Chains A and B, each alone.
Chain A
Amino acid sequence: MTRQELIETLQPIVRRSFSDPNLLITDDLTPANTPAWTSLSFTQLLTEIENQFGIKFGMLELLQMQNMGSIVDKTLSHLS
């Protein structure tokens, strides 16, 4: 799966988790510039990604997820 294909797969998951039907995934999305990005929605997003791809993030990986770009990259590294 390419990065772009992954982003297209993640798009509806992110919109659902953040309850924002118009949200577009960009690498620089962060809690600071995305009002819907709360601790709760972030946890829901992680749960959905893990369920969708059958993967499990480690605690250190979660610690390194500073923005949407890093979430995409960490997911991609599990799939490759």
Chain B
Amino acid sequence: MNNLAPEIKLFTAGDLADWLATGHSTAGLSNEVISRCRAAAIAHNPYVHKDDPCVAAIYINGKPVTFTATFADNINGTVYRWFSTLWCNPEHRGKGYPLIAVGTLIEHYGAEKCLDMWGAPETVEIFRYFGHNDTTVPEYQFTPKSIRRDSLKGQAAYLLNKLKRNFGGGRTKQHRTFIEPTYRLQYTNTVDEETYCFIQNHAGGDLIPRTREMLNWILAYHFMQRTPLLASKEGGNPFHDCDSRYWMSGVKLFVDDRLAAFYILVDSDRGLSVKYLYYDKEYADCVFDSVARHVQTLRNPRFTTRHPQLADYIDSMHLFDKKTIVPISFSYPPAFAFPATAMSQGGDGDGFV
């Protein structure tokens, strides 16, 4: 008879680093628990100590059924832990495993040092359970931060990616500018001060007005996850971490040389995705039209967004088959009081929670 008693395991940054370096893990890490590229992004974080637990996984009968991970960040001299990844096998949802996995790490670091990147109802409720009564995050005093690239692999991957970006042409080139009759798109891998002021002014009812540093972290973090050398070694795993093709960039939309929108665009095997869309409501039609044209040029047959109005607009343009437009949302139980004006962006922005 199978032993179905769940068991929780914690893995430290040192466990992750050992596994990455040797390919073996005495702690029991495997590709099934966390992908190597995601592990690299967590373990090579400059603010993490080798003994810090970074990953919590729940096993049943020796198989991982829930997984969460944190990455460390320094905000005004204090190291916080962002919860940016949470996955639960659909067969085991509703049993509180995400609560337990997240809670085990929160109990280790203290609730006051933990931050919720998702802002989804489920995770807001988990954080509320541990004493967070609001979803605000500490404000950063922004200082430019370089990503440490300790390993040879990391350096080689960084250089390769840089070369690809600078000389690759096509859509991998950064800061390429499109000229449209009424608007202009600019790719960027940095949220600068002007852009961040814009985001603050147009965050609207978003549950978490993300900080400038955090948006830069999202761009950097995703870049680190997808370093090509590591990504090429990845096989399939249940956490959908790696695609054979993945590209991501911030996009600034200017109308008459005035910044009208900022969003993050991801083009991968799983489809095109527009995330973290902040826009000036005055230019809503223009913004949606621009995004629609933009995604059309990228010729990916599948499109996902968490933004309902944008999804409706793209749908109305008939750019994609109905079946390929994937509105991603969580199931909100009727009793949950969700702010009417709030725009939800759950999970770690990749559509899988």
Contacts and interface: CB of A to CB of B under 8 A. Distances in A.
Nearest to A19: B335
A43 B333 contact: no
A41 B333 contact: yes
Given A59-B104, A63-B6, A42 B95 contact: yes
B93 A39 contact: yes
Contacts of B335: 16-17, 19, 41, 44
B262 to A, nearest CB: 30
A1 B343 CA distance: 45
Nearest to A34: B94
B126 A37 contact: no
A41 B334 CA distance: 10
Nearest to A62: B100
A19 B93 contact: no
B125 interface: yes
Contacts, number: 69
B282 to A, nearest CB: 36
A65 interface: yes
Contacts of B7: 63
Interface string B1-28: 0000111100000000000000000000
A43 B99 contact: yes
Q: Interface size for chain A: under 10, 10 to 19, 20 to 34, or 35 or more residues? A: 20 to 34
A62 B96 contact: yes
A48 to B, nearest CB: 11
Nearest to B95: A31
Interface in B55-98: 58, 88, 93-98
Contact of A59 (B98, B100, B336): B100
B129 interface: yes
Interface string A1-36: 000000000000000110100000000000110001
B96 A43 contact: yes
B206 interface: no
Contact of B126 (A19, A41, A43, A60): A43
20 contacts: A31-B94, A38-B93, A38-B331, A39-B93, A39-B94, A39-B98, A40-B336, A41-B333, A41-B335, A42-B94, A42-B96, A42-B99, A44-B335, A46-B96, A46-B99, A59-B103, A59-B104, A62-B100, A63-B8, A66-B95
Interface of B: 5-8, 58, 88, 93-100, 103-104, 107, 121-122, 125-126, 128-129, 331, 333-336
Interface of A: 16-17, 19, 31-32, 36-44, 46-47, 59-60, 62-66
Given A37-B94, A47-B125, 8 more contacts: A19-B335, A38-B331, A41-B335, A42-B94, A42-B99, A43-B125, A47-B129, A63-B97
